[in-house]
């Protein structure tokens, strides 16, 4: 099997998970070249890597480069993405700087790999990973949309703190201990204490969408692009919750034709990367405690929504650092290899 030289820019929570995923899936990498702000040796996912400072020369000879920026972090791919592609690599970017550019494929391999192939064969060398909540939501919706076109979607997300990076994970751990001891809480990663709380704001105000946040705009516009449905009506509210890993999303959707719950379950049971857990009487449904650390996205609480014509309600849950970031990026690279695009 041909081997590939892989670059990895950034070694935070997502970068560390990318190393784990590459190893766990036996990705054909002859080299994993880790780049960051300075030279040093670093233990990453149980291995010691010599981290190289990010310079133009550091990208030479690489076949694919994964940019592992935390959601909302800007700069790395803007500074180095073109340098990497000019050096001959294909870039897969976890950041949000280029997702909505017309010439950049925005990809969930189980959903729109064919569109990615078309664009890469047409010359695209830069591919974007969607937002974590977008990926997890669409894993539960896209297979249904494929057989019965989606007309409207309302989503409420319940997003874990890991989506905001290592500092947010540490803050929830610290505040949990502080709250148990009756100590005062001093939030830094979030505007308010996160322990025993929910915060109905992720991101800042979106001027083009008065009253909505940047995270809510991502779910709206990215979903339209990935599904190829530019006029799809979407509304969402994104909420941070005191969970370490895995996002959950409550979705209410309306389709072109009616769906029964049984029909929807049958479609989703055949969808790659989806695991249906749906037995209300047995208290069985996807939860972060079960899907954190897992590759699959869970879908459950599937039922007809009688409040809207052709309505369906469902609940999605998936690990935002894995399928919502690192795994999805590695799957994109695997798809490129299978289709002869690298």
**Residues carrying an active site annotation:** 132, 247
In angstroms, the first-to-last Cα distance of the chain is 13
Any idea of the CA torsion for 154, 156, 162, 168, to the nearest 10 degrees?
130
Q: Where are the beta strands (DSSP E) in the chain?
A: 4-9, 29-36, 40-44, 47-53, 64-67, 90-93, 126-128, 150-159, 233-240, 247-255, 274-276, 297-305, 311-318
Quote the distance between the C-alpha of residue 118 and its chain's center: 22
Any idea of the CA torsion for 108, 112, 116, 119, to the nearest 10 degrees?
-140
Quote the distance between the C-alpha of residue 102 and its chain's center: 20
**In this structure, are residues 227 and 142 in contact, taking their beta carbons and an 8 Å threshold?**
yes
Smallest CA-to-CA distance from 240 within 326, 172, 315 is with: 172
- Tokens standing for 103? 């010439």
Quote the distance between the C-alpha of residue 168 and its chain's center: 17
């Amino acid at each position: 099997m041909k081997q590939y030289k892989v670059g990895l820019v950034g070694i935070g929570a997502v970068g560390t998970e990318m190393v784990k995923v590459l190893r766990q899936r036996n990705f054909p990498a002859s080299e994993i070249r880790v780049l960051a702000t300075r030279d040093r040796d670093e233990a990453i996912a149980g291995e010691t890597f010599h981290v190289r400072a990010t310079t133009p020369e550091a990208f030479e000879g690489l076949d694919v480069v994964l940019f592992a920026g935390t959601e909302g972090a800007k700069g790395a791919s803007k500074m180095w993405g073109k340098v990497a592609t000019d050096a001959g690599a294909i870039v897969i970017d976890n950041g949000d700087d280029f997702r909505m550019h017309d010439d950049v494929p925005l990809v969930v391999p189980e959903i729109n790999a064919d569109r990615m192939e078309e664009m890469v064969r047409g010359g695209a060398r830069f591919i974007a990973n969607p937002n974590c909540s977008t990926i997890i939501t669409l894993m539960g919706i896209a297979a249904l949309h494929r057989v019965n076109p989606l007309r409207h979607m309302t989503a409420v997300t319940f997003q874990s703190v890991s989506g905001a990076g290592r500092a947010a994970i540490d803050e929830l751990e610290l505040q949990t201990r502080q709250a148990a001891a009756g100590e005062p809480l001093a939030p830094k990663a979030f505007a308010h204490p996160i322990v025993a709380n929910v915060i109905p704001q992720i991101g800042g105000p979106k001027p083009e969408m008065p009253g909505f946040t940047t995270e809510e705009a991502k779910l709206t516009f990215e979903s339209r692009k990935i599904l190829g449905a530019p006029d799809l009506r979407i509304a969402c509210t994104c909420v941070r919750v005191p969970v370490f890993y895995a996002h959950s999303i409550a979705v209410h959707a309306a389709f072109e034709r009616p769906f029964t719950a049984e029909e929807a379950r049958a479609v989703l049971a055949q969808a790659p990367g989806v695991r249906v857990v749906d037995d209300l009487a047995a208290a069985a449904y996807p939860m972060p405690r079960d899907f954190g650390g897992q590759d699959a996205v869970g879908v459950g609480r599937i039922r007809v929504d009688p409040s809207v014509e052709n309505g369906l309600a469902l609940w999605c849950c998936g690990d935002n650092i894995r399928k919502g970031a690192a795994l999805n990026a590695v799957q994109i690279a695997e798809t490129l290899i299978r289709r002869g695009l690298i």
